[in-house]
Amino acid sequence: MGKVGLVVAAVCAVGSCAVAGVLVGRRIRSRCKWGRALDVLSEFEEGCSTSTARLRHVVDAMAVEMHAGLTSDGGSKLKMLLTFVSRLPDGNEKGTYYALDLGGTNFRVLRVQLGGRRSTIIRHQVEQQPIPQHLMTSTSEELFDYIAMTLKQFVDREEGDFDQEPDRSRELGFTFSFPVKQTSVTSGVLIKWTKGFAIEDTVGKNVSQCLEEAMTKKGLDMRVTALVNDTVGTLALSHFHDEDTVAAVVLGTGTNACYVERTGAIIKCQGLLTDSGGMVVNMEWGSFWSSHLPRTSYDVELDDESTNRSDQARL
Return the active site residues.
Answer: 195, 230
> What separation in angstroms does the CA of 15 have from each of 11, 19, 20, 21, 25?
6, 6, 8, 10, 15
Burial 99-131 (b: 16+ CB within 10 A, else e): bbbbbbeebebbbbbbeeeeeeeeeebeeeeeb
DSSP 244: T
What residues pair up with 171 in beta bridges, in sequence order? Answer: 223
Bridge-based pairing of strands 81-82 and 121-130 is unpaired
Q: Which candidate, 73, 119, 127, places its Cα nearest to that of 93?
A: 119
Residue 246 to residue 238: CA distance in whole angstroms: 9
Residue 132 to residue 110: CA distance in whole angstroms: 20
Alpha-carbon Rg for the chain in angstroms:
28
